[in-house]
Chain A
Amino acid sequence: MVTTATQFTTDYLEAVRAGVTDAVAASLPAGGPRDSLYSPLSEFVGRGGKSIRPGLCIAAARAHGVVTERVMPSAVALELLHNAFLVHDDIEDGSLSRRGLPTMHAEHGVPIAINVGDGLAALALQPLTQNLGLLGTTMHNRVMAEFTELLRMTIEGQAIELGWRAENAVDLTGDDYIDMVALKTCAYTTIFPLRIGALIGTSGRADLASVTRFGLYLGAAFQITDDLLNLTGDESRYGKEIDGDIAEGKRTLMLIHLLSTTERSDRDFLIDFLSRTRESRSPEDISTVGEMMRARGSIEYGRQYALALADLASEAFEQAFGSLPDSPDRRFLSEAVDFVVSRDL
């Protein structure tokens, strides 16, 4: 059963973060332009994160017995790509803080932020070229195919969510939400990092259906927990503004639950609230929506939903990686399930 994130998982991710941060830093250009590109880019990457994506990729490869060097370029590419997505997501969402500091566009303006995001996406391609020498032509191409699918799914998932907001969609279901999250979050956070690591670790023979299943359950639990933290977390640890998702009108599982269970008058209030721009949503109304979620049991609903997905992920882990010999990497993959639903940052 799900309990708390273990110290082991935290230590493992810290080790990954240190290694990936060094590799990312080494891949950043030393020249210019500094003020409008590489300085803000380096500062943003240097803020660090949980490193869950490179961690899963590295662990999935190493659990099969390969050395870290063979998978590190792909792990670094995933981390740079994640940073690129964050910069653009924060613009799209109008978010103000990221990793405890102002978002890129809040600090440098939207034009520079868009370009820095593009720069990070371009830099993410660079380490992938090393796979040609490390893994051979066939596996290099295979990894590139995984990355192209990852990119398309993530962008399509983001488009679905942005479309919901633009259309003020209010009749969504949990199924709609999970389908969207599978593309927007799971693809680049869990599914493809795990698939790429497993492919490299097995020279292409991994049971990718099982790995995909594990990745989707894990990633969906991760996203719901992230959205719960946005409602209930400690801002100083979480690093983003609390209730920011409500302010943005983000269609979280909890909001979808609230919309589908609330009484007519409250629903009318919600539909009106969501139809407004972020700037015209008052702090009082944002607080009211949060209170409605608590009163309607939407937060507990989200928590139970995440725990159910975590249980599914634990079962899927056994199919995907359970037969591998004991190792720190296999243990990390197993305990990642507890980590994603019990984390507080």
Chain B
Amino acid sequence: MSHQDADQVREEAYRAAAGAVDRILDRIGIPGTDRLGEVGHASWDRFQAELGRVVDLNLDMVRNAFGLYSTLLDPESLRGPGASDVLVLGPVVPGGTAGSVLWLHNYDDEPVTDVALVGSVLTNTGSGPANPPQWTFSPSAVTVPARSAVPVMVELALPKDAPVGDYEATVTPGGGPGEPVSVRVEVVAPSPVAHDSW
């Protein structure tokens, strides 16, 4: 095959593949601004519509069975049964991102509005504070209805130069009642590719 012919084949391949990508993305949607629960995704919307009721009904079962959540509460009387005091993130490698769900509970009879979370620096007892991590909370501010709970996605992007080790931090609510929640982060070295690492 001549160079000219090869170039023509490549052009055909590029055109066909680019068109196919466009059609696939049109179909799936382009959730380029994905946020959990706000996804422009046809299947997701259908699935949510079908499962929404079931998920709501089973939330307590999910929490009790798997202990997925920590609790952010103030005053002390609002603290619910089975809540954990510590939010555990990771293990995560330097430069990686760890995330978890933090449930904000309000056992009071009045709603709590505009609760925005703030994350602290990471401290490592061996080497002192690491470079500032990047915290992301989704949604950035929430209202917790009376006698209800709202999930907030907590994500921590670690600096690439974070030394391996166990870190501590806090997440504190602003704009509403609440006390800091302790966060533990385990930073690990990237795993070698070996059978026993799977």
In the complex, what's the smallest C-beta–C-beta distance from A116 to chain B, in angstroms? 27
* Segment with Cβ contacts to A, from B43-51, B76-84, B126-134, B168-176: B43-51
Given A145-B43, A205-B34, A312-B14, CB of A304 within 8 Å of CB of B6 = yes
Interface readout for A195-212 with B: 1 if CB under 8 Å, 0 if not?
Answer: 000000111111111001
Which of chain B's residues have a CB closer than 8 A to the CB of A305?
Answer: 9-10, 12-13
Residue contact B9 to A308, C-beta cutoff 8 Å: yes
* A64-B97 contact, Cβ under 8 Å, with A137-B55, A213-B21, A325-B160: yes
Known A-B contacts A64-B96, A68-B197; A301 and B21 likewise in contact (beta carbons under 8 Å): no
- Contact in complex: A11, B23 (CB < 8 Å): no
CB distance from B193 to the nearest CB of A (A): 4
Is A45 in the interface zone, CB < 8 Å from B? Answer: no
Q: Which of A191-246 contact B (CB under 8 A)?
A: 191, 201-209, 212-213, 216-217, 220
In the complex, chain A residues whose CB is within 8 Å of the CB of B193 = 8, 11-12, 15, 328, 332
Q: Please, how many residues of chain B have a CB less than 8 angstroms from a CB on the other chain? A: 65
- Interface size bucket, A side? 35 or more
Chain A contact surface mostly:
helix
Residues of B within 8 A of A191 (CB): 24
Q: List residues of B (1-54) whose CB comes within 8 Å of A's CBs.
A: 1, 5-6, 9-10, 12-17, 19-21, 23-25, 27-28, 30-32, 34-37, 39, 41-44, 46-48, 51
Q: Is A89 an interface residue (CB 8 A)?
A: no
Give Cα A19–Cα B194 distance, bound, in whole angstroms.
10
Q: Which residues of chain A are within 8 angstroms of B195 by Cβ–Cβ distance?
A: 14-15, 18-19
Q: Which residue of A lies closest to B19 (CB)?
A: A175
Contacts of A272 in B (CB 8 A): none
> Across the interface, which residues of B come within 8 angstroms of A68, CB to CB?
191, 197-198
In angstroms, Cα B153 to Cα A146, docked, is 20
Residues of A within 8 A of B23 (CB): 179, 182
A179 nearest CB neighbor, chain B only:
B20
CB neighbours of A65 from chain B (8 A): 90, 92-93, 95-98, 158
What A residues does B65 contact at CB under 8 A?
133
B155 within 8 A of A: yes
Shortest CB distance A57–B (Å): 13
Listed A/B pairs (19) with beta-carbon separation below 8 Å: A15-B193, A15-B195, A18-B198, A65-B97, A133-B62, A141-B51, A144-B47, A149-B41, A178-B16, A178-B20, A179-B20, A182-B20, A182-B21, A203-B36, A203-B99, A208-B28, A217-B17, A301-B1, A308-B13
**Which 9 A-B residue pairs are closest in the complex by CB-CB distance?**
A65-B96, A19-B198, A325-B95, A203-B99, A308-B13, A133-B66, A308-B10, A178-B16, A145-B44
